Structure 1
Amino acid sequence: MVAIKKVLTASAIAGIAVLQGCKAPAPTAAPVVTVPVATAEAASLENNLVLSAEFRPFQEVDVMAKVAGYVRAINVDIGSHVQQNAVLATLEVPEIQDDVAKARAGVAAAEANVITAQAAIQRAQAGANIASLSFQRIKDVAARDQGLVPRQEIDVAQSKQLESSAQLAGANSSLRAAEQQKLQAESEYARTVTMMQYATIRAPFTGVVTKRFANTGSMIQAGTSSQTQAMPVVTLAQNDRLRLTLPIPVNAVSDVRDGQTVDVEVGSLHRTLQGKVSRTADSIQMATRTMNTEVDVPNPDGSLVPGMYAEVHLHLANRPAALSVPLDAVDGLGTSVQQVYTVRDGVIHQVSVKVGLQTANRVEILSGLNTGDKVIVGRHTGLSDGQKVDPQPAAYESATSH
C-alpha cells in the first residue's frame, strides 16, 4: 500500500508538470491605430455661388402705330441709335387731317354761339330792366293816387316784368349751353390734334433699333388691339444697361439681397465687370425650386451685346477669421447633431459641435472646439470614445506646413 501511494504521488506530480508545460502564453496588447488629424484654426471662408446667365436689354419694345396710315418717311434703320422722343417715322393720314379741320370749324361755330348767347342776355337784361321800372312806376302812382291807374294796367305791367325775367333766365341758360358746346368742340379738336400727333412715331426711350419692319409707302395698321395682326414699325432696345436673370437655389435665397455687388465674368470678352442685384421675384418657382433674381450691368460703351453669356459670382457670405476644420472632420453635416473626434494625449474624445458657414473644403465651427485642437479627418468607422490612437498629420496638413 505504501508503494502504491508513492507511485500515484509520482504520477500526479508528473501530470502536474505536463499540464504546467502545456499552459498558453499571455495575450499580447492590441496594436494602436494610426489616424490622420488636422488642426482647428482660423481661416478666411467665403461662400460664392456661380451661375450662368444671358444678357438681355434693360427694356425692349415693338414700336407700334396708334393710327393706321401710309409711311411718308422713316428716319431710322437697324443699328440706329436714337434719343428719347426722336422721330422714328411719319405717317400720311389724310382722314385725320380732315377731322382736325372739321373740329377746328366746330370750335369756331361754338365760339360764335357763345357770343350770340351773350348778346341775347344783354337784350333780355335790358328788357327786364325796362319792365321792372315800368311796373314799379305804375305801382307807385297807383299807391299814391288811388283810382287814377286802372287795375288792369298794373296787372299788365307786372306780367311784362315776369315775362322779361323769364326771358333773361332763358338767355342765361342758353349761354351755359353754348359754353358747354364750346367745351365739347374744343375737346373734340384736342382729340383730333392728338390723333394727328400719333402720325409722328417717336422713340419711347433712348436706345438702338434692332429690327425694322416698314419702308416708305408701307401701309401700317393701328396696333391698338392685341387681337390684330398689325406689324410694328421698328423694335427698339435699351442697351446702355443690361439685365441678367439668375435662378437662385432655394437654399441660397436668404443670402441674396437688393444692392448686393456681384462679379460678372464675360468669357467671350475676357473681362470681369461689376453689377448689382437690382430686384428679386420674392417667390420660389415650385417646378425648379429657384427664385428669379435680376442683376443690372452698366454698358455705357456698348461693348456688351444682348445674347452674350456671362458667369455671375455672388458673394453670399464672408468670414475673414473663422475657426474652422476640414469638411470631412465633421460627422452629421446637414442634420441636427454634428460631432467630431478630437485626439488629446493619444486618446479619442467624441465632441458635439455647432457648425456655421460651409465651403467646398472647410466648415466653420461656432462652438465645441478651440484653436489648436486636433481632429480626426476622413472615415470615422471603427473609432470610439476613449480609444488610444497614434495621431499623424493628414496629407494636406503636411503639404500646408511645408
Structure 2
Amino acid sequence: MRKRTSLLLVAGLVPFVSFLVACHRTGKSSEAKADEIRSARVVVAQRGNIAHTLSLAGQFQPYQVVDVHPKVTGFMVKINVDIGDKVHKGQTLAVLEVPELSAQLKGTGFEMEQAKDDLLRTQHEIKRAEATHAALHADYERLLEASKAEPGLVAQQELDDAQSKDLASESQVDAAKAAADAAREHTEVAHADKDRVQALQNYTNVVAPLDGVVIWRYADTGALIQSGTNSNEQDIPIVRLSESGLLRLRMPIPEDDVKFVHIGDQIQVRVDAIGRTFIGKIARFTRDVNFETRTMETEIDVENRDLSIDPGMYANAQMHLAHAENITTIPVEALVLKGDQQTVYSLDADNRVRIRNVEIGIRGTKLAEVKNGLQPGDRVILGGQENYSEGERVDPILVQEPASDVLRDSGGVIDMKAESEEKNGGPQ
C-alpha cells in the first residue's frame, strides 16, 4: 500500500515540475527579448532660427581733423577761440596784421583808377578821330563828285591831297580804337591785381573751414604766424579743428569674417561710457587686410550733433554675420559624418533606426540647419549613434532641445567695469 502511494505522488509531481520548467524557460525568453530592445535619446526636428554674430570693440574717430593755417604771413592781432570751443563754418577764428598788404591794396586801387581814366581818354580820342575822319571824308567825296560832273574843274593835286587826308584820318580812328583796346586790357589787369591783393587781405581773417570743435590751440596774440602755402612742415597752425558732429566708429573685422561685410549692413552699437545704444550701418571698409593683425578696418558713420560722444571713446558693436529664419534645426550632436556626407539616425513610426543623408546649412553653437533630408517633426537619435544599426528597434527617450540658436564670435570687446576695477586696484 505504501509503495502504491509513492508511485501516485511521483506521477502527480512530474506534470507540476514540467510546468515549472516551462515557465522558467518562458521567463528567460521574455527577459532576453526585453534586453535586445535598447533605449535611445531622441530629439524632434523643429522650426527655428540660427544666427551668427560677431562682437567687436570699436573706437570713435572724428570725421575730419584739420590743422588751420593762414594763407599769408603776419602777426596775430586777435584769436577768438580756445580749446573746446564749438565753431561754425566761416566763423572768424583769428585776425592777422600784414602792413605790406594794406599798402599794396592802396597801390592797386590807384592803378585801377588810373587805368579807368586812360580808358575814358582813349574812348574820347576815338570820338574825336571819328569826327575828323567824317569831315575829311565828306570833303573828299564832294571834290570827287565835282570832278566827275565837270572834268578839269578840280585840280588833280587838290583831289589827291583830299584823298590822302581822308585815308590818314581813317588810320587815326583805327589807332584810337587799338589804344582803347589796350587801355581796356590794362584796366582788366589792374582790376585783377586789385582782386588778388584784396583776397590776400581777406586772408588775414582766418575762418573755420568746417563745423567742429577746437581740440588744440597753437598760437597766442602777438605771435608771428607763417603762411601755410609752402612745403615747410615746421610751420605751426593756429588751431586744430575736429569735425565731431559726425563721427567714424572704426572696428577691426577678423580675416575669417571679412566675407560677411557689406555696405549698408546694420550693426548694433553700445557705448557704455554714456549708456547709449543705437543701430548703425556700415559706411565703408578698406578692402585690405592688415598683414600684422589680420583684420580689416571697417567704419560706421555716427550722428553726434549733441556732441555726447567724444572722439576716442570705445564702443562694443554686434555684427550679424549670417542668419537663417524659419528653418529646420536639430542639435549638432545628432549629426554623424561618414566620409564627406553628413547623416542622422532617424526613427520611423515603428521606432526602427533609419540612417539618412542630410544637407547641412548654417551652424550655431548647439544647433545646425537641415536643408534637405529631414522635416520638422522627424525624430533623430542624439549621441551614441555608433551603438545602433539600420533597422534596429529602439525604445525612444524624448529629450527637449531649443529650436533656435546664436553663434557668438568675439573679435574683442571692451569691459568698462573691468577697466574701472583695474584702475581702482581690483573688484570692490
**Is the shorter-chain TM-score for this pair beyond 0.5, marking a shared fold?**
yes
**1:274 and 1:297 in contact (8 A); partners too:** no
Partner of 1:126: 131
Partner of 1:212: 217
Match of 2:316 among 286, 304, 311: 311
Match of 1:140 among 137, 145, 163: 145
**2:255 and 2:289 in contact (8 A); partners too:** no
Distance 1:114 1:336 in 2: 94
SS in 1 for 2:183: helix
SS in 2 for 1:123: helix
The alpha carbon displacement at 1:388 in A equals 5.7
Letter in 2 for 1:207: G
Distance 1:155 1:56 in 2: 89
Match of 1:49 among 42, 45, 54: 54
Deviations 1:16-75 (A, max 9, x none): xxxxxxxxxxxx999676654332101133332221110111222111111111110001
Distance 2:113 2:232 in 1: 39
Classify 1:32/1:284 alpha carbon distance in 2 versus 1 (closer, same or farther; 3 Å): farther
**What is the 5 A alignment of 1:346-361?**
346-361=351-366
Distance 2:380 2:243 in 1: 56
**What is the 5 A alignment of 1:6-21?**
none
Partner of 1:339: 343
Match of 2:289 among 262, 267, 285: 285
**1:275 and 1:298 in contact (8 A); partners too:** no
Distance 1:226 1:329 in 2: 69
SS in 2 for 1:55: strand
SS in 2 for 1:369: coil
Classify 1:54/1:131 alpha carbon distance in 2 versus 1 (closer, same or farther; 3 Å): same
Distance 2:377 2:331 in 1: 13
Q: How many residues align?
A: 368
SS in 1 for 2:170: helix
**1:356 and 1:365 in contact (8 A); partners too:** yes
Partner of 2:106: 101
- The reply to whether residue 198 of structure 1 matches residue 196 of structure 2 is no
Partner of 2:162: 157
SS in 2 for 1:237: strand
**What is the 5 A alignment of 1:28-39?**
35-39=40-44
Partner of 1:321: 326
SS in 2 for 1:201: strand
What TM-score, normalized by structure 1, do the two folds share?
0.82
Partner of 1:81: 86
- Computed over aligned residues only, the root mean square deviation of the Cα atoms, in angstroms, reads 2.8
Classify 1:319/1:94 alpha carbon distance in 2 versus 1 (closer, same or farther; 3 Å): same
Partner of 2:190: 185
The alpha carbon displacement at 1:320 in A equals 4.0
Q: Which stretch of the first structure deviates more once superposed, 297-306 or 78-87? A: 297-306
Distance 2:116 2:343 in 1: 93
- The reply to whether residue 231 of structure 1 matches residue 251 of structure 2 is no
- The reply to whether residue 72 of structure 1 matches residue 77 of structure 2 is yes
Partner of 2:272: 267
The alpha carbon displacement at 1:217 in A equals 0.8
SS in 1 for 2:71: coil
SS in 1 for 2:168: helix
The alpha carbon displacement at 1:170 in A equals 1.4
Distance 1:97 1:112 in 2: 23
Distance 2:96 2:66 in 1: 20
Distance 2:170 2:238 in 1: 62
**2:43 and 2:400 in contact (8 A); partners too:** no
SS in 1 for 2:270: strand
Distance 1:173 1:383 in 2: 111
Deviations 1:265-318 (A, max 9, x none): 12233332332323344x242636654321122223322111111111123444
Distance 2:170 2:341 in 1: 99
Distance 1:35 1:143 in 2: 138
Classify 1:133/1:365 alpha carbon distance in 2 versus 1 (closer, same or farther; 3 Å): same
What TM-score, normalized by structure 2, do the two folds share?
0.77
Structure 2 gaps of 5+ residues are: 1-31, 403-428
The alpha carbon displacement at 1:263 in A equals 1.5
Distance 1:229 1:67 in 2: 16
SS in 2 for 1:73: strand
The alpha carbon displacement at 1:225 in A equals 3.3
Partner of 1:60: 65
Distance 2:384 2:227 in 1: 73
SS in 1 for 2:162: helix
Classify 1:181/1:388 alpha carbon distance in 2 versus 1 (closer, same or farther; 3 Å): farther
Classify 1:337/1:183 alpha carbon distance in 2 versus 1 (closer, same or farther; 3 Å): farther
SS in 2 for 1:264: strand
Partner of 2:18: none
Q: Which stretch of the first structure deviates more once superposed, 70-79 or 378-387? A: 378-387
Classify 1:109/1:380 alpha carbon distance in 2 versus 1 (closer, same or farther; 3 Å): farther
SS in 1 for 2:190: helix
Distance 1:379 1:102 in 2: 100
Q: Which stretch of the first structure deviates more once superposed, 309-318 or 371-380? A: 371-380
Classify 1:132/1:339 alpha carbon distance in 2 versus 1 (closer, same or farther; 3 Å): farther
The alpha carbon displacement at 1:247 in A equals 2.9
